[in-house]
């Protein structure tokens, strides 16, 4: 029984990281129909930012202060990077075919990976644990604070995002632009600003994801974002790409699937199962669990 609950906690921790990353994918897709393949690599940059702060400031400042700076710095870097990439690489292609945008995104992804490799080397960097407060016991079971905090932080982030999108003016603008750019513009919404904002928010979530990722796996490497990004993409598609609750649902579902597969001793098949889910979803329910079926008008 403790094993089952332990596995469930593992699934929730893994799932919440996927969910945070999937949210970024989904929001960006929702607003400009772009699969932002560089999204996973933004997490990689965030992880390196955390590593940089944690290892360079720890001799001057107490641990708590360094950890706090690392969190803020990573999120800030990710936000700026996300918005910056949108301005430099995607904004000039606003009226270009969607395929060009997709190819650009792949290019940005490779650019970030190779740049990280050039600056930091190909090997992994060990990130000191930001949540270094051990674990607590529930009955006979050990639960690490890392897992608990990961779950809490992601739930809070998702709640805040939902409120933001539903209740604020900027959130309304985002929804309007994703419905119809032209009409939104006629209503006095600045689509460029709104799109930048969406990228910034998605990337800030990726920044939070990168911190939580580092807490769980404690390493930053140039290619860490690609597999994470792909799995989060599967999560977004499973939940229904473009849908915020769908991304969360998809993230947790993928986390659960991976944990389930590993816990029964098939860990080697983990990736295969995740991508099998993608194929099955695309065949039987391409719009995803919570996605809206759009009718293409000719």
Q: Where on the chain is the footprint of another protein (CB under 8 A)?
A: 2-3, 6-7, 10, 13-14, 123-124, 126, 128-129, 132, 135, 141-144, 146-147, 216-219, 224, 227, 258-259, 262-263, 265, 267-268, 270-271
The answer to whether the CB of 246 falls within 8 A of the CB of 240 is yes
Q: Which is nearer to another protein, 192 or 226 (CB)?
A: 226
Contact at 8 Å (CB) between 37 and 105? yes
Least Å from the CB of residue 148 to another protein: 11
Between 142 and 185, CB nearer to another protein:
142
Distance CA 26, CA 20 (A): 10
CB nearer to another protein: pick between 54 and 78: 54
Name which of 107 and 134 has its Cβ closer to another protein: 134
Phi, psi of 288 (to 5 degrees): 85, 175
Measured CA to CA, the distance from residue 82 to residue 93 in angstroms comes to 16
Distance (Å, whole) CA 263 – CA 8: 10
CB of 261 vs another protein, minimal distance in Å: 8
Q: Considering the complex, what minimum distance in angstroms separates the CB of residue 25 from another protein? A: 19
User: Least CB distance from residue 276 to another protein, whole Å?
Assistant: 15
Q: Residue 92: is it exposed, middle or buried by C-beta count within 10 angstroms (0-12/13-18/19+)?
A: exposed
| CB 273 to another protein: min, Å | 11
- Residue 92 contacts by C-beta under 8 Å, 6 or more apart in sequence? none
Query: Whole-angstrom Cα distance, residue 243 to residue 27?
Result: 7
């Amino acid at each position: 029984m403790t094993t089952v609950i332990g596995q469930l906690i593992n699934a929730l921790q893994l799932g919440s990281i996927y969910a945070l990353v999937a949210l970024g994918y989904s929001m960006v897709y929702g607003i400009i129909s772009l699969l932002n393949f560089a999204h996973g690599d933004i997490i990689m940059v965030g992880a390196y930012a955390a590593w940089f702060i944690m290892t360079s400031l720890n001799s001057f400042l107490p641990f708590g202060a360094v950890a706090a700076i690392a969190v803020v710095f990573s999120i800030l870097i990710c936000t700026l990077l996300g918005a910056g990439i949108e301005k430099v690489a995607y904004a000039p292609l606003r009226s270009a075919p969607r395929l060009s945008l997709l190819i650009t995104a792949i290019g940005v992804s490779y650019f970030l990976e190779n740049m990280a490799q050039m600056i930091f080397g190909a090997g992994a960097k060990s990130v000191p644990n930001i949540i270094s407060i051990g674990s607590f016991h529930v009955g006979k079971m050990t639960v690490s604070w890392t897992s608990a905090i990961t779950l809490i932080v992601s739930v809070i982030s998702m709640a805040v995002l939902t409120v933001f999108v539903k209740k604020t003016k900027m959130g309304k603008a985002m929804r309007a632009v994703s419905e119809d750019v032209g009409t939104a513009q006629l209503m006095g919404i600045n689509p460029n600003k709104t799109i930048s904002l969406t990228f910034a928010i998605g990337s800030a979530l990726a920044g939070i994801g990168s911190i939580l990722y580092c807490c769980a796996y404690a390493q930053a490497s140039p290619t860490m974002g690609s597999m994470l990004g792909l799995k989060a993409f599967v999560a977004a598609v499973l939940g229904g790409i473009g849908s915020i609750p769908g991304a969360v649902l998809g993230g947790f579902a993928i986390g659960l699937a991976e944990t389930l597969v590993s816990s029964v001793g098939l860990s080697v098949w983990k990736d295969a199962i995740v991508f099998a889910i993608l194929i099955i979803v695309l065949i039987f329910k391409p719009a995803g669990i919570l996605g809206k079926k759009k009718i293409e008008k000719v």
